[in-house]
Structure 1
């Protein structure tokens, strides 16, 4: 009996040690410690920049992202931690409109509402349930379909735009999909199937895209037939946004759309630039989408098309550590397009990226 007990104890200890080592193998422990410190420094910078009304840059969108950075951090901040959390929540609630949108601007209502309900959900506070559900309804209402006179064969069918622009795009689509996933929208809601029509038509995959424009590299454009970097070129930030959209909408990892997107990522693996984009444009947006899509895909390593293995957590941490300023902030000084000259926005994106790395 004693021998059996010793054997069981040894086996349990061995399995526990193996489990810990297998988990730790997904990221260098030294880099993980540095990533934790970097997030703390980034959050400290954001707190120093917070306006008296609790917002960052007076923007619903940026405030939502900064709030999410706090709530999803390893520190697990909550409203109990004080005004630096409760004030931004109240700032968001003060911009709730009758139609369910949450925005200070009519031109960015989808973007702002999507990131706002994602942040409110992250509080875990049931008081915001109705506000979140109203936000979901608003996002669903923006989706172009039969109610708007769009038939299923139209290239924009199922798409969602900024909310003030009639043209949908994959960036806004992915943010809406992420928000509806985060807020546990019914997986049987028709919005998912319609969204996948638009997402699939934004992919350069002629085998699964029923529109003639598509090439066959597996990456994603900004919208069907168009990218801001020329023609309908595939590029990094949108390919990761497309991959997230497919996975969050319930598409299996073995689906050819997912596999072709991942193969594009393998063939274009880099963190030195937003691959396929004009120099340094959307760089931190790319890092943010990269972290979220790799986390959702669930593989610790990416083997590129040359057979070289990359630990994406280590790679992204090293890149972000090298770009963080001494004050704890991040910014894109080479390309301020798409607000990447705003330190509050870029710092929030970077912290959210590292939060996914640390998990």
Structure 2
């Protein structure tokens, strides 16, 4: 999300005044459409069961380059999110606990109100503790180690690049938020960023950085990303098996890397 805004402003620097105006008009119209789809009573979008869907809209509204303001839609939407805060710190109803919490956490971080600090801190702790460390603790001996899945009711180790990217982005910016306020996240409540980097690397079809046995086998998709580090196979009409890789996962990987690699690079620079 932040990456997309960075690209937008980067491009804005080389666009003509007319193009910038056209882009802002398109954004304004898009946000207007989203506002018109809000439930006037509850403040949610789409469905109440997944507050993440409302959080995605709120994140778009509050990042309007022209300024978000204190609109009624924002107030109602954030009030709805906060009603879904659970005793364990997560922000969800029943299912997809991590997915919902991570995306709601990002929306709250973008607003960055001091009165939401404790909710943000507890949600950050909840998401960080969803990180997989199966089999031998402290060792990346399971393909899913370091990643994060949907959360809530999943049996055994599971993680995917989509959920991990949402989690990494939210955790990185919430961590940065508390660093700016001189109240850093405690070590035991932080993510294992090195393990997260390895998980993302294991999702890529690149044998130089992926230690999984399938990496590099598909020469036609070198560098592409899969949904998980476990080779997913699709059977084509001629019964040929190919790895499952797509543009969507490449976007998720970019989002994840923008968050997970930054702390690692900073640490290596200090060393």
TM interval, short-chain normalised = 0.7 to 0.9
Q: Deviations over 1:286-322 (max 9, x none)?
A: xxxxxxxxxxxxxxxxxxxxxxxxxxxxxxxxxxxxx
Write the distance in 1 (CA, Å) between the matches of 2:263 and 2:244.
25
**Aligned-partner Cα distance in 1 for 2:116–2:215:** 42
Residue 247 of structure 1 corresponds to which residue in structure 2? Answer: 258
Deviations 1:194-218 (A, max 9, x none): 2112111111110111111112611
- Alpha-carbon distance between aligned partners in 1 of 2:19 and 2:264, rounded to the nearest angstrom: 29
Aligned residue number for residue 219 of structure 1: 224
Is 1:170 the counterpart of 2:161? The answer is yes
Higher relative contact order (CA 8 A, sep 6+): 1
Residues 95-134 of structure 1 correspond to what in structure 2 (within 5 A)? 95-106=84-95, 108-134=96-122
Match in the other structure for 2:54: 63
**Paired residues for 1:129-144 under 5 Å:** 129-144=117-132
SS for the counterpart of 1:143 is coil
Say if 2:65 is the partner of 1:54: no
Q: Does 1:179 align with 2:179?
A: no
Change (3 A) 1:25 1:129: closer
> Normalising to structure 2: TM-score of the pair?
0.76
- State the shift of 1:76 in Å: 2.2
Q: Structure 2 vs 1, CA of residues 160 and 214 (structure 1 numbering), >3 Å: closer, same or farther?
A: same
| Whole-angstrom distance in 2 between the partners of 1:253 and 1:160 | 18
CA distance in 2, matches of 1:228, 1:86: 45
CA pair 158-25 structure 1, distance change in 2 beyond 3 A: closer
Secondary structure of 2:261's aligned partner: coil
Structure 1 unaligned runs (5+)? 1-21, 255-359
Asked if the contact 1:118–1:179 (Cα under 8 Å) also holds between the matched residues in 2, the reply is: yes
3-state SS of paired residue (1:244)? helix
1:199 aligns with 2:232: no
Determine the structure 2 residue equivalent to 1:13. Answer: none
Separation in structure 1 between the aligned mates of residue 163 and residue 78 of structure 2, nearest angstrom: 22
After superposition, the Cα gap between the structure-2 partners of 1:153 and 1:253, relative to the gap in structure 1 and judged at 3 Å, is: closer
Q: Do the aligned residues in 2 keep the contact of 1:214 with 1:225 (CA within 8 Å)?
A: no
State whether residues 150 and 157 of structure 1, in contact with CA within 8 Å, keep that contact through their aligned partners in structure 2.
Answer: no
Mark the runs of 5 or more structure 2 residues left unpaired by the alignment: 1-9, 177-183, 236-241, 266-271
Q: Secondary structure, in 3 states, of the residue corresponding to 1:76?
A: coil
1:115 deviates by: 0.9
Deviation at 1:247, TM superposition (A): 2.6
SS in 2 for 1:153: coil
Partner of 1:236: 247
SS at match of 1:222: coil
Q: Please tell me the root mean square deviation across aligned C-alpha atoms, in Å.
A: 2.8
Residue 15 of structure 2 corresponds to residue 27 of structure 1: yes
> How many angstroms apart in 2 are the aligned matches of 1:85 and 1:228?
42
In 2, Cα distance between equivalents of 1:96 and 1:206: 42
The Cα shift of 1:154 comes to 1.0
Tell me how far 1:228 sits from its aligned partner.
Answer: 7.5
Corresponding residue pairs, total: 230
Taking structure 1 as reference, are residues 30 and 105 closer, same or farther at Cα in structure 2, changes over 3 Å only? farther
Q: Deviations over 1:250-272 (max 9, x none)?
A: 25999xxxxxxxxxxxxxxxxxx
- Equivalent in 49, 53, 65 of residue 74 of structure 1: 65
What is the CA-CA distance between 1:229 and the residue it aligns to? 5.8
